[in-house]
Amino acid sequence: MTVPARRALFVATILVGSFLLFLVQPMVARMALPRLGGAPNVWNSAMLVYQALLLAGYAYAHWLSRWPLRRQAGLHLALLLLAAVILPLRLADLPPPVPGWEVLWVPLLFVLTVGPVFFVVSAQAPLMQRWFAASPAAGEPWSLYAASNIGSFAGLIAYPLLAEPLLSLHAQSVVWSLGYAALIVLVALAAGARWRAGGAASASAAAAEPAEPIGWRRIALWLALSAIPSGLMLSTTTHLTTDIFAMPLLWVIPLGLYLLSFVIAFSDRRLAARGVMLAAPAVVLFAGSFAMLSRNSGTMTIAVGSCLLLFVIAIALHARLYELRPGTSRLTLFYFVMSAGGALGGAFTALVAPVAFDWVWEHPLLILAAALVLPLPEVLGWRGLPDLDPGLARIAVGLLLAMTAFLAWLLYDVAAAADPGLPRVFLTVMLTGLGLMLLHWRGAYIAVLAAMMLAQGGVETIQTTLDGLRTRSYFGIYTVHDYPEQKMRLLVHGTTLHGQQSTDPARLRDAMTYYGPTSGVGIAMRAVPRLYGRDARVGVVGLGTGTLACLRLPGQRWTFFEIDPVVLRYSRQGTFTYLRDCAPDARVVLGDARLDLERAPRASFDVLAVDAFTSDAIPLHLLTDEAVGVYLDALTDKGLLLVHISNRYIELEPILAAIAKQRGLDVRVRKDIPPDGINLVASSWVAISHDPMRLVALEQTDPSAPWEDLQPPAPRAWTDDHASILPYIRWNRLLGNL
């Protein structure tokens, strides 16, 4: 086999392995949604497991590289075949987690589901590069790492664009298993191409060279340069999936950009990488200045800026990492340390941050950490002017920092305005210019960045933390806002209003936001005594502020299902008093509502209201055909199912219409646009029943508030095995605020 042909074989093996590795990540996370819902930390937990398994795979490749090539090939092929016993992939059967322990239970679920095959495939990239370098005529193997990341990126993009829309989860698992079989064949061919390099010799010709000394300071820098982009990738994911929606399309964007950064940073052609390194200090100042903004941050402009910031930082730090690479004799050690750094960054974001912080403080902290190790070219270069007195230089730095403080103070006032507009942009550009003039002094550069972060909204974010108004759990970030002048208290999840209550004693029981008297649920609850009698049994999926409790009428038996202990604590501790004042004897079940309803006796409820969206993230497992089947089993034959589908970015009517059509159900929707734009907000509630007369009676409850037919049904209903949000995205809203 000629050298080009062998190179093509190793490239193909690396591409296929990396493609499979990153195709399986969103696939297994999607499998887990019926068990875990759409919380952003589900993906972060998955990524933590993948990074840990990747680290284990790289450690295995580093250990294996010490043996003769033939022994490496035999052992690696044996492990590939042994791991195949868990194929096709299916979700591990674990009992539900104890509330509060999801942060450990979720990683365990992923390890048991995909651990063996992910571990052995993750060793592909460093191991194949090591085998490739066994021939003296092969050349440098580093560019093959770029091929690895191209394959990884292709796998990520293929999932939301091809695999998820076209294939069921079972079919996806079967196709992935066939790809795994093809990988085994390619690995065997690659081993055969280097078989003569076996015997007692090491797999790498470079192993005969003197080992390059690697000091701990260099290893520590490798760790930092790999950990910061990894952690930043996950913190960016948290923002996107909290404030927009949890779906693989958005899960993969930060990870895809992270992988593409390696393609540019590890390329033999350095022009693009050096260009990004040159621009990185300015991008970090301008885009990074918004990292502490927590008010009105759920816009696509901020989301795109966050992605750009991640991409630039990842390229700049990975390019510096590449420039600090060792010789090929230390190739597997380099990749092992790099993988360890990635795992450390992931552990910080996925494990430490949710417990240690009440907000996504890891995001600005990681940006500041990036500034600490970012290569800082002297763009303006004024410090190098001949005959510049050091004392004069220090005075100039002091003046520039004083000017920074003044402009930051102006920016603080401007950013606090309702519509900061162009003045905000102008001041941000001015401060960015000052920061670039201070590149020679890294401490001063970081000080400018920190000042900009504080001015852009960081002071308010810090004050909210100091006031104890915010709480973070595995399922999200909640902030309580008090407005004494309006006598109002709000609960915000991410950037979405989750509920509110008047602090006026005379209005403590008034139903607000999505639950007003003309809302679908408001009309339905008034009709319950006529439809089911005074002692009706009512279930509510999703507690929120507890507003629905005040639609309860005497004699009714109510049960709330809530997954997040933090949300329940708001009602138990009196932050919101709806539950205490209106339904103190209501039963509250803590845990995943779908699983709890599956265990409940049949016909437990006359009415069931599903109101479990968090921010604009969709718990997809609550809107599948199987989920509706669970709800119907929990209802009496003539029971009424109410589903809250208000959402900024996803059109959900066709989905429920398709499920209703498939099951032969009657379905109507109440789209409420109340005139009160302060206490009440627009809402869409869907009513579903086996009994058409129930919906007729419901419509007669308030003729002035009409119910409508749903939009035409989707071509097929969502199921646990096959569901794609892509066709139902409201792109005009998603992209309209760029």
Q: Region 706-722: what's the mean pLDDT?
A: 92
pLDDT of residue 232: 94
pLDDT of residue 203: 41
Considering only 4-13, 455-464, 510-519, which range has the smallest mean pLDDT?
4-13
Considering only 65-79, 284-298, 502-516, 697-711, which range has the smallest mean pLDDT?
284-298
Query: Taking a C-beta distance cutoff of 8 angstroms, is the pair 149, 18 a contact?
Result: yes
pLDDT band at 202 (very low <50, low <70, confident <90, very high): very low
pLDDT band at 208 (very low <50, low <70, confident <90, very high): very low
**pLDDT tens readout for residues 333-365:** 888 899 899 889 988 988 888 888 988 899 999
Considering only 24-33, 555-564, 615-624, which range has the smallest mean pLDDT?
615-624
Q: Region 654-658: what's the mean pLDDT?
A: 95
> Which residue has tokens 């089947």?
629
Considering only 38-52, 433-447, 585-599, which range has the smallest mean pLDDT?
38-52
Query: Whole-angstrom Cα distance, residue 182 to residue 176?
Result: 10
pLDDT of residue 38: 54
Contacting residues for 359 by C-beta, under 8 A, at least 6 apart: 294, 461, 464, 465, 470, 472, 477
The percent of residues above 90 in pLDDT, for the chain, comes to 48
pLDDT of residue 734: 63
pLDDT of residue 100: 64
**Omega before 88 within 30 of 0, i.e. cis:** yes
Residue ranges of domains in the chain: 1-198, 225-251+265-326+353-474, 514-736
Query: Whole-angstrom Cα distance, residue 345 to residue 737?
Result: 31
Distance of CA 503 to the CA centre of its chain: 35
- If one counts every other C-beta atom within 10 angstroms of the C-beta of residue 535, the result is 11
> Which residue has tokens 């002692």?
535
Is pLDDT of 200 > 50? no
1-198 — its CATH code?
Answer: 1.20.1250.20
Q: Provide the residue count of the chain.
A: 738
**pLDDT tens readout for residues 617-652:** 566 778 899 999 999 999 999 999 999 998 777 889
**CATH topology agreement for domains 1-198 and 514-736:** no
Greater model confidence, 325 or 669? 669
Q: Region 209-213: what's the mean pLDDT?
A: 62
Global pTM? 0.81
- If one counts every other C-beta atom within 10 angstroms of the C-beta of residue 254, the result is 26
Between the alpha carbon of residue 105 and those of residues 345, 472, 594, 613, the distances in Å are 20, 18, 18, 22
SS (H, E, C) 585-630: CCEEEECCHHHHHHHCCCCCEEEEEECCCECCECCHHHCCHHHHHH
Mean pLDDT of the chain: 86
**pLDDT tens readout for residues 34-47:** 666 555 566 677 77
Considering only 124-128, 305-309, 426-430, 465-469, which range has the smallest mean pLDDT?
124-128
Q: Region 290-298: what's the mean pLDDT?
A: 74
**pLDDT tens readout for residues 490-518:** 998 766 778 899 999 999 999 999 999 99
**Superfamily holding 514-736:** Vaccinia Virus protein VP39 (3.40.50.150)
pLDDT of residue 199: 44
